[in-house]
Amino acid sequence: MLAQCNFLKSVPVGVRAFSSLNALRATPKKGTLKAGGNALQESKFEPLSEAQRAYLDRALRVNQAGELGANYIYQGQIFVLSRRHPELRPTLQHMWEQEVFHHDTFNALQIKHRVRPSLLTPFWKVGAVAMGAGTALISPEAAMACTEAVETVIGGHYNEQLRCLDSQFEQRKADGTSGVPEEVQSLTAKVKLFRDQELEHLDTAIKHDSRLAVPYMMITETIKGVCRLAIWGAERI
Amino acid sequence: MSIRLLKNSVSRRALLSTRLYHPNPIEYANSTVVAPLTYTMDSPQSRILTHCLQNEVPHWGFTERALLKSIQAVGYDSSMMSVLGASNSPSIFHSSPAVMELVKFNLVKKRHALTESLAAAGLGSPAALPSLEHLLVKRLQMDVPLSKQLGDLFTQLALPSQFMVNVAVPELFRLSDDMIYFSNEKDHFDTAWYSKRLGVSLAYTTSKLFMAQDNSLNCQDTIEFARDKLHRIMTLGEYYNNVEEYAWYSIMTTVNRAKAGFSRH
């Protein structure tokens, strides 16, 4: 993933470096931004490259789909477990509320930044409810094993994103300085917070005997595989 | 120093609290080109193509003859024709690459002009933005001078080719996306995001087809047609939402009644 990130700044997408037509392509001349006139222009960052924009679009889309999935998984679990095991209700409710907040945050960011949502959104909804309710029907431990598997994959996914956001979005300004744009800083802070909360959910699941689920390995490894496949799909479709 | 801090805090608040455009104009310098064009608006290519759209296309249509006249009028050699078409691949079924560029320029420039002044207005509040209907009508009115050439334009755009896949369809999507984003229309985060854009694209395309055969003064009939079409599409969306809401309410009621019934036994 990190190796893929390293291309973000160096490869202009859609431009063949060897093309004889390259000379016709408009490129910012030296001092263009300064010539634009004022201190305000000088203090602005150079525009994001096409690859950087594509990465942000993809990151927001997959995060939105992932949080939608988490939201509906907890919804399915609560639907099944709240009557059979009311003692688990406050714990599940707390985790669900945090997922709803994450989902709402990425919904707002998707609209704000003109990112298309995943075309497979209805399938993510149905699949997530089925996953949450299905594991809860097996046992409360199986539901917690599901939470553990999902949060493990999501935590790793957020960590990969943070590495990329930290290393690939240092933008230059016309006055010669450089820095990370505030919208990227803001996104990084949100991803960090959500990553920490997801890992709290992982700890909560382990504390509630997720590892006693039978068959533990089969449940967790299958769900991890499904989550990785869903991440791959939501990034692209 | 304090003024700078104040400016920073104001822009930070604007950045984090209001509707923005990605990449946002508060933090980033303006791009030198309007994608997918590869030249600036003050380049020789833009000057020739703008002249052609304003003066020659209404008479000669989207043809090489129109381009040649503009190249001569702006003061360049006729070899400029090959420069104009440089970014398009030749196609044996299509017009020359230069004509393709003229068609592309027509679409991109008008789309950009439609929302150019709205970006700043939208930063303050979405309520300051115009309605979707206003933008649709405004875009249609931009093509009134070319109304007699629209049949030719449609042929160029709809001819199955690389140009249709790479330029015509993406431009139609960008236009409908811009019209929804830069209007006060509610946006969505599920499949309604796609269906709304599809509906607006449909309203725009059918209105343009209507305009190609419209003989009324200033294409007034087309404007009426577009308003009616958009209204019908939005009403269809409301019907769908109401049915979905009622179906969900019915499912929840049934489940709760069943649960209540089981708990009594």
Residue A87 domain flag: yes
Residue A30, CB-side half-sphere exposure with 13 Å CA sphere: 0
Least confident of A24-33, A78-87, A131-140, B59-68: A24-33
Give the residues across from A45 on adjacent strands. Answer: A173, B28
Contact B30 A47 (CB under 8 A): yes
Residue B127 domain flag: yes
Span A148-155, mean pLDDT?
89
pLDDT the model gives residue A63: 92
Residue A220 domain flag: yes
Q: Is the CB of residue A106 less than 8 Å from the CB of residue A187? A: no
Binding positions of A are 67, 99, 102, 151, 198, 201
Q: Give me B140's structure tokens.
A: 């249609």
Does pLDDT of A225 surpass 60?
Answer: yes
Contact B187 A111 (CB under 8 A): yes
- Specify the higher pLDDT residue, B187 or A26: B187
Give the model confidence (pLDDT) of B6-16 as tens digits: 445 545 555 55
Q: What is the DSSP letter of A171?
A: E
Least confident of A217-231, B11-25, B220-234, B241-255: B11-25
A64: pLDDT confidence band, cut at 50, 70 and 90? very high
pLDDT the model gives residue B33: 77
Residue B202 domain flag: yes
Domain count, chain A: 1
CA B27 to chain A, closest CA, distance in angstroms equals 5
Does pLDDT of A11 surpass 70?
Answer: no
Residue B16 domain flag: no
The helix/strand/coil state of A170 is coil
Tell me, what's the ipTM?
A: 0.73
Residue B244 domain flag: yes
- Specify the higher pLDDT residue, B97 or B25: B97
In whole angstroms, what is the distance from residue A179 CA to residue B255 CA? 54
CA A121 to chain B, closest CA, distance in angstroms equals 6
Binding positions of A for Fe cation are 67, 99, 102, 151, 198, 201
The residue type found at A226 is: V
Contact B87 A41 (CB under 8 A): no
Span B201-207, mean pLDDT?
92
Contact B86 A21 (CB under 8 A): yes
* Of residues A10, A29, A110, A128, the one with CA closest to residue A62: A110
- Specify the higher pLDDT residue, B9 or A133: A133
Residue A217 domain flag: yes
B248: pLDDT confidence band, cut at 50, 70 and 90? confident
A42: pLDDT confidence band, cut at 50, 70 and 90? low
Cβ-Cβ contacts under 8 Å for B265 (sequence gap 6 or more) = none
In whole angstroms, what is the distance from residue A138 CA to residue A129 CA? 14
Residue B12 domain flag: no
| Residues B66/B71/B75/B78 CA torsion (nearest 10 deg) | -120
Q: Provide the CATH number for the domain around residue B227.
A: 1.10.357
Residue A214 domain flag: yes
Q: What is the DSSP letter of A208?
A: T
Residue A35 domain flag: no
Residue A60 domain flag: yes
CA A200 to chain centre: 17
pLDDT the model gives residue A13: 41
Counted across chains A and B, CB pairs separated by less than 8 A come out at 88
Contact B28 A41 (CB under 8 A): no
Domain count, chain B: 1
HEC letters along chain B = CHHHHHHHHHHHHHHHHCCCCCCCCCCECCCCCCCCCCCCCCCHHHHHHHHHHHHHHHHHCCCHHHHHHHHHHHCCCCCHHHHHCCCCCCCCCCCCHHHHHHHHHHHHHHHHHHHCCHHHHHHHCHHHCCCHHHHHHHHHHHCHHHHHHHHHHHHHHHCCCHHHHHHHHHHHHHHHHHHHHCCCCCCCCCCHHHHHHHHHHHHHHHHHHHHHCCCCHHHHHHHHHHHHHHHHHHHHHHHHHHHHHHHHHHHHHHHHHHHHHHHHC
B205: pLDDT confidence band, cut at 50, 70 and 90? very high
pLDDT the model gives residue A31: 44
Contact B31 A47 (CB under 8 A): yes
In whole angstroms, what is the distance from residue B68 CA to residue B225 CA? 36
The average confidence (pLDDT) of chain B is: 81
Residue A17 domain flag: no
Tell which of B28, B180, B197, B255 to mutate to test the A interface (max A CBs under 10 Å): B28
pLDDT the model gives residue B204: 93
Tell which of A16, A113, A190 to mutate to test the B interface (max B CBs under 10 Å): A113
Tell me the residue range of the domain where B236 lies. 35-263
* Of residues B205, B111, B96, the one with CA closest to residue B150: B205
Interface of B with A (CB under 8 A): 12, 15-16, 19-24, 27-33, 38-40, 43, 83, 86-87, 177, 181, 187-191, 193-194, 259
- Quote the pTM value: 0.76
Residue in chain A nearest B166 by alpha carbon: A14
Nearest by CB to residue A183, choosing from B24, B31, B181, is B24
Contact B28 A45 (CB under 8 A): yes
Q: How many of the other CB atoms lie within 10 Å of CB of A138? A: 16
Tell me the residue range of the domain where A94 lies. 50-170+178-236
pLDDT the model gives residue B5: 45
Does pLDDT of A73 surpass 80?
Answer: yes
Residue A82 domain flag: yes
